[in-house]
Copies of this chain bind each other. A is one copy, B any other.
Amino acid sequence: MTNSSKIKVYQEVLEQIRFYIEKHQLSEGDKLPSERELSEQLNAARSSVREALRAIELLGLIETKHGEGTFLKTYRPYQTVELLATFVLRESTTKNELLEVMEMLEHQCLIKVQEVITDNEIDILEQEILMHEEEHLHTYVFNYFFEKVKNQLLLKVWHLINNFVQASHELTPDQNYYLHLLKLIKDKNSVEISGLLKDFYQQNYVNAR
């Protein structure tokens, strides 16, 4: 009855493409069927297939090569980010939700990373931080941490959220923050790590009402 009950063809196509990828265990660089082939197999007009493909192309999930075909791509959100940034309005609740989840992910990451990271690695990272420009420092440091934790899924979820956060409102990075964090990790001081993180995020939450 309601509008939500009707699924558009291009959405169905999207679903089927996902199915196809799953079924054939495709991964980065693999080729998808041609637009005409998909059109025929899914019993949809080519224009509908294209609507679906263009949509996930914009998301950065596939790559299209004129005269060759459509290929799966490693997810790189950069193209989306700029677009989103223009549209993303200062919705305080959304921002806070993003930050809240982000804080949570990073908190867990820090707790886990302190158990596996070596003093030597911390020293090296410290040097990197001092050399690095402030730009993208947050992404750089936590990317390192998340990789150390060796949970790809966790890393990817964080990447996803982080990109949205960076797009909507830059976290203010500060070398000292990360250096302080490193020291606490070295001391395996979980309690203060939690405190420091909490303080940092407290500054960034948007005060609603």
Contacts and interface: CB of A to CB of B under 8 A. Distances in A.
A47 B161 CA distance: 32
Contacts of A157: 85, 101, 157
Contacts of A94: 74-77, 153
Contacts of A54: 10, 51-52, 54-55
Kindly name the residue among A3, A28, A54, A57 whose own CB sees the greatest number of chain B CB atoms within 10 A: A54
A164 to B, nearest CB: 5
How many copies make up the complex? Answer: 2
Nearest to A64: B8
A153 B101 contact: yes
Majority SS at the chain A contact face: helix
Interface string A60-101: 010001100000001111001101111111111110011011
Nearest to A81: B160
A25 to B, nearest CB: 8
Interface of A: 3, 6, 10, 14, 18, 21-22, 26-28, 47, 50-52, 54-59, 61, 65-66, 74-77, 80-81, 83-94, 97-98, 100-101, 104-105, 107-108, 151-154, 156-157, 160-161, 164
